[in-house]
A and B are shown apart, each in its own frame.
Chain A
Amino acid sequence: MTGRVASLYAVMTALIVGVGLLQGWVVALSILQLCLISAIMALGANMQWGYAGLFNAGIMGFAALGGVAVVLVSMPPVPGALGAGGWNLGLSALAIVLTLAAALFARERVAGYWRAPVMLAVIAIGYFVMRTFLDPASAAIEAIDPAAAGYLGGLGLPVVISWAVGGLFAAGAAYIVGKVSLGLRSDYLAIATLGIAEIILAVLKNENWLTRGVKNVTGLPRPIPDERTLQAAPWVQDLAVRFGSDVQTAAAIVARLAYSALFAIVLVAIFWLAERALRSPWGRMMRAIRDNRDAAEAMGKNVTRRHLQIFVLGSAVVGIAGAMLVTLDGQFTPSSYNPLRYTFLIWVMVIVGGSGNNWGSVLGGFLIWYVWVMAEPFGSWAMATATTGMTPGSFWQQKLLAAAPHIRLLLMGLILLTVLRFAPQGLIPERTARR
């Protein structure tokens, strides 16, 4: 770690501590939790962009897949749901598998001009077969206690397991997208991922039997006791007395610290692995492919395969972070996913932090999340100050006050454009071998 890195991290720490001193530690720790998750997402995006130069415009979709894993793993199963629609669900899953197998078989066996039409026909027929089983299944499942359940529920396993499962879900989706669109021009991957993210979101919003859709799944299990339990715990009450705060605050701080510690463990583990990978021969190969694709190909590297590999790995990391985010919120709300916040903000983090440098990505995750959160109160304050002289309720005063929440978007755009132009390597540039 060089002096530059150390001093930048010191500044970041000071910023968060500053919030703690000025606005209270509960606020500061809330920011820290999301900073940690953002840093993991940025690490995932950095693997794809920084190591391999792949532009993934669908980070939101992979994060949402991680989120749905939390529901499917940790919620208790809804009694009777599997009995109502289980067989049909199984059959429709079988139909999907058989359709894919038949399509691949057709690709092997049918040659020339007819290949594409035959494959399309096979997939279309398979789709209708799948629908004949899925429709009754989803109707039956959604009919079970629609106000409180109306979905399959999960497996009732500990919520931490779902983080790994979230990574697997995202990796699976990334494999399919990557198989189709990697090896083509870079813009193509961007557009394909933009599309897959919208589709994943559409599925999560509409397949009520799986996720309750826009009815949301609330009350997800927590990895640590909830705040009310903590308030009742004697040791928390002792702490409150010792630090002279009320019990609510002490419990809130303890809960946030516990979450932060959990997230920090995941972050450190992923960071360590990512750094190890980057320093290994594999990491050097990835950078060689990124910097000179043709030369790497001439050396016998299978560029498309390596790209697929890193794309899947990076998406898995994003999926893990997405699962952690939903765990922290305690609820899964498909309608809250928005590409500016979940895809392009992560991009700003990676670019500002320093593409290709994991220290940079983590710093970028922290800093940009911090700015994103602080921009809103700052915007309100700035607009309130700017409008003090105006007549209350006048057109311009109303207009300016209403504009305050959008300042953060402008700020993010300007930060991204400025960094990209004047410091394209980011705050912590990639470390390369001696030139």
Chain B
Amino acid sequence: MDVLNALVLFLNFVMIPATAYGAQLALGALGVTLIYAVLRFSNFAHGDMMAFGTMLVVLVTWGLQSLGVSLGPLPTALLALPIGILGTIVLALVTDASVYRFYRSKRSEPVIFVIASVGVMFVYNALTRFVIGTDDQRFEDGARFVVKVGDFRKWSGLDEGLAIRTSQLITVVVMILTVAFVFWFLQKTRTGKAMRAYSDNEDLALLSGISPERVVRITWILAAALAVIAGTLYGLDKSFRPFTYFQLLLPIFAAAIVGGIGHPLGAVAGGFVVAYSEVMVTYAYKGVLTYLLPEAWRPEGLVQMLGTDYKFAVSFIILVVVLLIRPTGIFRGRTI
């Protein structure tokens, strides 16, 4: 019984939140990695693109709520999602045409693109703040829980409860669907193959008649859609605050690099690696150990490896470890 209690405690506070968080990071990292594979730079504006898209979703959600539209147990934000994606795609394409295209035509160094993306980051940041301000916004509605703590206790007869929030379940389902679609697109469609060819060898791709501008456009469309989906899921799961999205940049980059930057499957794996390590390292294991260990060995402290405030340190440490041991990442992305 104690073992089961410990397991439920661990599932409830580590595995379930970390899986949802990992799915969000995976989607974010997938966007970053696609941009990296095709445009060959680390997009510092990705976090703020997520914030902008999520802001659109929040606004549309509020509009729908005021009209009385709802999805029943599901959050209304899912209805608003396509509109948010469309708006963000427009923004990304306008940005590309007005900022990045110029440097592409000049074949500038990647670091110039990075600096340009810093400028874009400022602009996106300002746009988001103009419209919605800097405060926390909650836009989750519908049923809050799929599995409730009390129900689970009654059903299982255990002391510890297990809760699965609707947003967590939706996060995982949407993430699986999205990733499956992206992989199908990259592997099976003509355009996806063109993208991969362009990423592997630009000159050869050009020789085979692949239009670079089209490839870049599709990449931005995918990255923007992924950013909005990731941002909305994160906002549903926690809450929407523009600055938090900027801070997500670090774990997202870490995830992309851990998996092998420029490698889509790696980005997804990296997202989960980062999320699980972050949650596991910052979780206080006192409760779990109390169930598992005999009375005499029970810990006095919290048995927490790092305070939760240090969660960014975890992404960074993973980043450094990967850099030192295997700079190309788990899936051998581009050599960096």
Contact = CB atoms under 8 A, between A and B. Distances in A.
Interface of A: 53, 55, 57, 116, 120, 127, 135, 180-181, 184-188, 190-192, 194-196, 198-199, 202-203, 205-206, 339-340, 344, 347-348, 351, 402-403, 406-407, 409-410, 412-414, 416-417, 420-421, 424
A347 B115 contact: yes
A135 B99 contact: no
A413 B319 contact: no
B294 interface: no
Nearest to A55: B111
A125 B99 CA distance: 49
A202 B313 contact: yes
Contacts of B307: 206
A53 B115 contact: no
Contacts of A351: 115
B250 A195 contact: yes
Contacts of B321: 120
A413 B129 contact: no
Contact of B121 (A181, A188, A344): A344
A111 to B, nearest CB: 15
Interface stretch (B209-217, B222-230, B323-331): B323-331
Contacts of B253: 191, 194
Interface in B224-265: 246-247, 249-250, 253-254, 257
B119 interface: yes
B335 to A, nearest CB: 8
Instruction: Give 3 nearest A-B pairs by CB, closest first.
Output: A413-B122, A410-B126, A413-B123
B101 to A, nearest CB: 11
Given A184-B327, A413-B126, A198 B119 contact: no
A253 B102 CA distance: 48
Contact of A413 (B41, B121, B312): B121
A185 to B, nearest CB: 4
Contacts of B310: 199, 202-203, 206
Nearest to B247: A198
Given A195-B315, A410-B126, A413-B121, A187 B114 contact: yes
Given A403-B129, A410-B123, A202 B118 contact: no
Contacts of A347: 115, 118
Given A344-B121, A416-B118, A57 B44 contact: yes
Interface in B84-119: 99, 102, 109-112, 114-116, 118-119
Contact of B125 (A53, A187, A340, A402): A340
Contacts, number: 129
A339 B244 CA distance: 12
B249 A406 contact: no
B309 A190 contact: no
Nearest to B335: A185
A421 B106 CA distance: 11
A175 to B, nearest CB: 14
Nearest to B118: A344
Contacts of A180: 320, 323-324
Nearest to B256: A191
B120 interface: yes
Given A413-B120, A416-B118, A416-B122, A199 B316 contact: yes
Given A195-B315, A205-B309, A409 B249 contact: no
Nearest to A347: B118
Contacts of A186: 109-111, 114
Interface of B: 41-42, 44, 99, 102, 109-112, 114-116, 118-127, 129-130, 133, 246-247, 249-250, 253-254, 257, 301, 305, 307, 309-310, 312-313, 315-316, 319-321, 323-325, 327, 336
A417 B119 contact: yes
A54 to B, nearest CB: 9
A191 B319 contact: yes
Most buried by B among A127, A192, A348, A413: A413
B17 to A, nearest CB: 20
Contacts of B313: 198-199, 202
30 contacts: A53-B111, A55-B111, A55-B114, A127-B305, A186-B109, A186-B111, A187-B111, A190-B42, A190-B44, A191-B257, A192-B319, A192-B320, A192-B323, A195-B316, A198-B313, A206-B307, A340-B125, A344-B122, A402-B133, A407-B126, A409-B122, A409-B123, A410-B122, A410-B123, A410-B126, A410-B130, A413-B124, A413-B125, A414-B123, A421-B102
Contacts of B316: 192, 195-196, 198-199
Most buried by A among B115, B121, B133, B254: B115
Contacts of A402: 133
Nearest to B336: A185
Contacts of B125: 340, 409, 413
A310 B2 CA distance: 57
Given A180-B320, A192-B323, A339-B246, A417 B99 contact: yes
A412 B109 CA distance: 22
Contacts of B320: 180, 192
B321 to A, nearest CB: 7
Contacts of B42: 187, 190-191
A403 B312 contact: no
A205 B308 CA distance: 12
A33 to B, nearest CB: 25
B323 A202 contact: no
A195 B99 contact: no
B119 A413 contact: yes
Contacts of B247: 198
A206 B311 CA distance: 12
A61 to B, nearest CB: 11
A53 B112 CA distance: 10
A57 B130 CA distance: 25
Nearest to B45: A413
A62 to B, nearest CB: 15
A199 B312 contact: yes
Nearest to B43: A187
A187 B110 contact: yes
Nearest to A128: B305
Contacts of A407: 126
Given A116-B324, A135-B301, A180-B320, A417 B123 contact: yes
